[in-house]
Amino acid sequence: MSEPLVLGIETSCDETAVGIVRGRKLLANVISSSVEQHARFGGVVPEIASRAHLEAMQHVISAALHEAKVSLQDIDALGVTAGPGLIGALLVGTSSASGLALALNKPLFGVNHLSSHLAVDALNETQALEPAIGLLVSGGHSSILKVTDLASDVEVLGATIDDAAGEAFDKIARLLELDFPGGPAIDLLAQSGDSSAIEFPRGLTHVNDREEHLYDFSFSGLKTAVSRYLKSTPSAVRADVAASFQEAVVDVLLTKALSAAKSAGIESLIIAGGVAANSRLRAEATRRCALAGVRLRTPPMGLCTDNGAMVAALTSLMVTAGSTPTSVGFAADSSSGLERLLWR
Q: Which residues here bind Zn ion, judged by CB under 5 A? A: 138, 306
181 part of the interface to ligand KG4, by CB under 6 A? yes
Backbone φ, ψ for residue 147 (5° rounding): -100, 105
Look at residue 299 and give the partner it binds from ligand KG4, Zn ion, none, a contact being a CB closer than 5 to 8 Å depending on partner kind: none
**Contact assessment for residue 266 and residue 146, using Cβ atoms and an 8 Å cutoff:** yes
277 part of the interface to ligand KG4, by CB under 6 A? yes
Q: How many residues interact with ligand KG4 (rule CB under 6 A)?
A: 20
Among 184, 201, 221, 337, binds ligand KG4 (CB under 6 A): 184
Site string for ligand KG4, 298-317 (x = CB under 6 A): -------xx-----------
How near is the Cβ of 4 to Zn ion at its closest, in Å? 23
Which residues inside 254-273 make contact with ligand KG4, applying CB under 6 A? Answer: 273
Q: Which is closer to Zn ion, CB of 107 or CB of 166?
A: 166
| Cα–Cα distance, 340 to 154 (Å, whole number) | 9
| Cα–Cα distance, 72 to 74 (Å, whole number) | 5
170 part of the interface to ligand KG4, by CB under 6 A? yes
Look at residue 182 and give the partner it binds from Zn ion, ligand KG4, none, a contact being a CB closer than 5 to 8 Å depending on partner kind: ligand KG4
How near is the Cβ of 187 to ligand KG4 at its closest, in Å? 4
Amino acid sitting at position 197:
A
Backbone φ, ψ for residue 183 (5° rounding): -55, -55
Helix, strand, coil % over all residues of the chain, rounded to 5: 45, 20, 35
Closest CA relative to residue 166, chosen from 119, 117, 236: 117
Look at residue 130 and give the partner it binds from ligand KG4, Zn ion, none, a contact being a CB closer than 5 to 8 Å depending on partner kind: none
Sign of CA dihedral 12, 14, 45, 53: negative
How near is the Cβ of 84 to ligand KG4 at its closest, in Å? 9
How near is the Cβ of 174 to ligand KG4 at its closest, in Å? 11
| Cα–Cα distance, 80 to 183 (Å, whole number) | 26
57 part of the interface to ligand KG4, by CB under 6 A? no
Q: Which is closer to ligand KG4, CB of 286 or CB of 327?
A: 286
How near is the Cβ of 121 to Zn ion at its closest, in Å? 14
Strands 5-10 and 295-297: unpaired
Measured between alpha carbons, how far is residue 84 from residues 31, 112, 114, 310, 339 in Å? 19, 7, 8, 15, 11
Span interacting with ligand KG4, options 64-72, 151-159, 194-202, 274-282, rule CB under 6 A: 274-282
